[in-house]
Amino acid sequence: MTDRQAQTVRLADYRPPNYLIDHVDLTFELAARGTRVESSLTVRRNGSHDESLWLDGDELTLESIELDGKPLAAEQVEERDNGLSISGLPDRCTLTMVCRVDPVDNTKLDGLYQSSGNFCTQCEPEGFRRITFFPDRPDVLSRYRVTLIADKASCPVLLSNGNPVESRDLEDGRHLAVWDDPHPKPSYLFALVAGDLKSIHDQFTTASGRTIDLGIYVEPHNIDRCDHAMRSLIKSMAWDEETYGREYDLDVFNIVAVDDFNMGAMENKGLNIFNSKFILARSETATDHDYEGIESVVAHEYFHNWSGNRVTCRDWFQLSLKEGFTVFRDQEFSADMGSRAVKRIEEVNLLRQVQFPEDAGPQAHPVQPKEYEQINNFYTATVYNKGAEVVRMWHNLLGWETFRRGTDRYFERFDGQAVTIEDFIDTMAEQADFDTAQFRRWYDRAGTPIVHVKKRIEGNDLVVDFRQEIPAVAGQEDDAPFLIPLGIAAFDRDGKPVSLSGPDRNGEPQTTLVLSKTEESRRFTLPAGAGLPVLSLNRGFTAPVKVEHDYDATDLALLAGSDTDEFNRWDAYQRLVLLTLVERIHQAEEQGDWPESGLPEGLSAAFGRLLHSAVSTQGGADPRFVAECLTLPSENYIAEQFHQDVPVDAIHRARVELREQLANEWSQTLVLAFEKLAVDGEYRFDGVDVGRRALRAQVLGYLNALDHPAWRRLAVEQLEEADNMTERFNALTALSLRASDERDQALEAFAEEWKDDPLVMDKWLALRARMVEPDDAETLAALEAHPAFSIRNPNRVRALVGTFSRGNPVAFHASTGSGYRWVADKIIEIDGFNPQIAARMATVFSRWRRYDGGRADRMRGELERMLDRRDCSTDLAEIAGKALK
């Protein structure tokens, strides 16, 4: 088997640090090989004990270590392969060490590494131990002073956390900069950047009148792509003051964009480091979607300054304390900047397509995990996005003002401390008048609760029965009920709201029930003569649950047209589509061949109504919202409706067929919409134009689902004439739906035009990955060998390997196993130099048990192949091992 020793870390084993480090002084002499790191730590015994001090260290060369200026006695230091143990220390002392590291060889992109020749760092969660020996745990908070020394010609820019205090030239062509961060912070928030970068600058004046210097640093050729990120930063700073009363607390705030980055971005104190994908944008190269991603990630990292940095996590089991809360904060920021309903739809899509599957499979874990082998594997949709939903429930249950009182109290009480999810809950619970003990289950119990809803008439009353089903997942089997806030409303057959519990303040019949028992009924008095109404459930997605209710197509069409909750109007339409697709697939299975089925009347009418509403001149619907509605559920989400033997090919076929039928039926209206929605003038990133472009993209996609040269012509024209990447790439995507000469020429021309722009080529790689036919080994090999691809760069890997395995189910799940094999080969190769990325890619194999025998065997076989290697990383071993358990 393997050399690795899987070590489980448990929340229950948490012990406070036995030594604290109050001050850290670091001096870096930067070099691609043999960077010299001198660190001086003021050590203070925590409590009274005579245990030794543990310093984590990973791939470091220790050159010297001194205690209060004198060499340490050899018997006091024990060097192990993951750190140093130092015994016999006085209550207070200063430890000084010199280490060497080789940034140029750091392929894990964790710790101090190089990206495009520039030095940068990533320390969360455990990267600092790859820079110097240190108690690398978030509950050790220290003040840092950092001196950077580097060659001035190749590294004119020297950045670290906090405020700049000194900079000067040295005699040997090198220069030096000193940074001082007055705020105590855990080591995971340390950062440095040194390189040949250009920057843009602006200023922000805080509510209390302090002026903050803002800088965004990028490689010189990207200097014209920073404005949108700067605007986003300024908006975030203003929003956090207005909304949460949080002001920035240093004199400078810097952002650096790097091309090689494992994740999205990192909130290092005063020096956020970003994946360039979430900074760089100009209209010719970035899409509306990119602009939105940048705005929300810039906000997310900025908001961490309070939710994460000023108040940080005691240990990594508390990760959602900062991530769930900060995601909730960035979601609300984005909702305020754009369309609230559309933002909510996107959030729920992600939850349903990524988090629900994770929560139902072998990697399922609670929002507060109780154990891990590799903490890097826990930066998940559950910790981030389900965590955000749980914070949202606090917000909804308490109401904004009370919630805000709670967050004020939380920031005030825990400022400068490393705390726990319990601390957050306790602070919020002080404000609450509901059972917070039961609410706590959301943090502790994995799995998505299912709420079964039944309705009936009793005399004049409507009786609604609720039953909670708590699925057994990943070793958690108890089925005690959750506290579930469930938004609900009712509509009569004409689509008019029916008053359920008396109109609330808005005169709307909506109410939020707080369910708390396994089975319970609610009784509502109906107006005289009212029939059994149609229920609108979990409105606005008040709880991260699955709702089961025997809606029929008529109910759903009615809700899709008349629900007063926009989110639920979208949801009803999506359910209607799913109902149609699933029925077809079942029919095909029963008949043994593909059924001849016409387009269902109700669905067709709903589609037409939506489309018309977006182009009607008066009181028209928001095109962006209509675009969300018309987006067919992804094949992966359709697959979620099947619990075993996922009919991969039938899902694809049913979806393609329905798209064609809708396009055929409504082609006239689609063409009309395409013309009417045209956006004139210069590119602008604003709600109106973004909405029109989004719907126009859907429309063009439907038209190009048909094999018709005129519709291809529309796409080709848009591709050639548009001056912005959004419209150009939308056109290319529409063309990609069917084989044609136009398509092949367009793809080739696009690749030629953008060959020197990696972020644009990522879009092209992803599009190509979606188009690969089952068992087409040749195309996969060609893409892999394409100059735009590099297996060393995480963005390229996500674009090609990630999209092929997650966005092209038919080819990934080819029954021969060729897709699985290709992806597993890549994962094994990547595991050799970047285990974090390998482990992340491998989660796509987790739910192999849901597939038919042949596929399941092959997926399992690949997991075994990944695992049964002497040098399999602990990262990948945890994912593959859990999947196979």
Among 124, 301, 373, 635, the active-site one is 301
**Residue that the structure tokens 């890097």 belong to:** 376
One residue of 212, 233, 266, 732 binding ligand ARG per CB under 6 A: 266
Q: Which of residues 296-315 bind ligand ARG (CB under 6 A)?
A: 300-301
Nearer to ligand ARG, 98 or 375 (CB): 375
Q: Which amino acid is at 736?
A: S
One residue of 263, 474, 582, 672 binding ligand ARG per CB under 6 A: 263
d(C-alpha 14, C-alpha 370), whole Å: 11
Q: With contacts defined by CB under 6 A, name the span among 264-272, 556-564, 601-609, 656-664 that binds ligand ARG.
A: 264-272
One residue of 265, 388, 390, 880 binding ligand ARG per CB under 6 A: 265
Pairing of strands 83-86, 546-549: unpaired
376 interface partner picked from Zn ion, ligand ARG, none, CB below 5 to 8 A per type? ligand ARG
265 interface partner picked from ligand ARG, Zn ion, none, CB below 5 to 8 A per type? ligand ARG
One residue of 114, 232, 236, 376 binding ligand ARG per CB under 6 A: 376
User: Residue 170 region, left (φ>0) first, then alpha (ψ -120 to 50), else beta?
Assistant: beta
Q: Which of residues 303-332 bind Zn ion (CB under 5 A)?
A: 323, 326
* Residue 350: CB minimum distance to ligand ARG, A: 15
The yes or no reply on residue 724 touching ligand ARG (CB under 6 A) is no
The yes or no reply on residue 566 touching ligand ARG (CB under 6 A) is no
d(C-alpha 313, C-alpha 320), whole Å: 9
515-553 burial, b at 16+ Cβ within 10 Å, e below that, comes to: beeeeeebebebeeebeebbbbbbbbbbbbbbbebebeb
Nearer to Zn ion, 287 or 380 (CB): 380
Encoded tokens for 209: 């009148």
Nearer to ligand ARG, 254 or 574 (CB): 254
Residue 301 a catalytic site member? yes
Q: Which residues contact 168 (CB under 8 A, 6 or more apart)?
A: 175, 176
Q: With contacts defined by CB under 6 A, name the span among 265-273, 365-373, 421-429, 551-559 that binds ligand ARG.
A: 265-273
* Phi and psi angles of residue 713, each rounded to the nearest 5 degrees, phi first: -60, -45
Q: With contacts defined by CB under 6 A, name the span among 87-95, 260-268, 362-370, 444-452 that binds ligand ARG.
A: 260-268
The yes or no reply on residue 323 touching ligand ARG (CB under 6 A) is yes
Which stretch of DSSP H or E encloses residue 400?
helix 400-414
Nearer to ligand ARG, 262 or 726 (CB): 262
The yes or no reply on residue 161 touching ligand ARG (CB under 6 A) is no
Nearer to ligand ARG, 147 or 275 (CB): 275
Alpha-helix residue ranges (DSSP H) falling in 276-386: 288-303, 319-337, 340-350, 356-360, 381
139 interface partner picked from Zn ion, ligand ARG, none, CB below 5 to 8 A per type? none
Encoded tokens for 660: 């064609």
d(C-alpha 689, C-alpha 820), whole Å: 41
Number of residues binding to ligand ARG, judged by CB under 6 A: 11
* Phi and psi angles of residue 544, each rounded to the nearest 5 degrees, phi first: -80, 70
Residue with the CB atom nearest ligand ARG in the bound state = 379
* Residue 324: CB minimum distance to Zn ion, A: 9
Nearer to ligand ARG, 246 or 300 (CB): 300
DSSP per-residue codes, 119-180: EEEE-TTTTGGGTS-B--STT--EEEEEEEEEETTT--EEEESSEEEEEEE-TTSEEEEEEE
Q: With contacts defined by CB under 6 A, name the span among 96-104, 129-137, 258-266, 680-688 that binds ligand ARG.
A: 258-266
Nearer to ligand ARG, 253 or 379 (CB): 379
Encoded tokens for 336: 């305020």
586-608 burial, b at 16+ Cβ within 10 Å, e below that, comes to: ebbeeeeeeeeeebbebbbebbe
Is residue 831 helix, strand or coil?
Answer: helix
Q: Which of residues 115-134 bind ligand ARG (CB under 6 A)?
A: 124
Nearer to ligand ARG, 215 or 387 (CB): 387
> Cα(first)–Cα(last) distance of the chain, in Å?
16
Encoded tokens for 852: 């038919």
233 interface partner picked from Zn ion, ligand ARG, none, CB below 5 to 8 A per type? none
Angle, helix 725-735 to helix 709-721, in steps of 10 degrees: 160
379 interface partner picked from ligand ARG, Zn ion, none, CB below 5 to 8 A per type? ligand ARG
263 interface partner picked from Zn ion, ligand ARG, none, CB below 5 to 8 A per type? ligand ARG
Question: Known catalytic residues?
Answer: 301
- List contacts with Zn ion (CB under 5 A): 323, 326
- List contacts with ligand ARG (CB under 6 A): 124, 262-263, 265-267, 300-301, 323, 376, 379
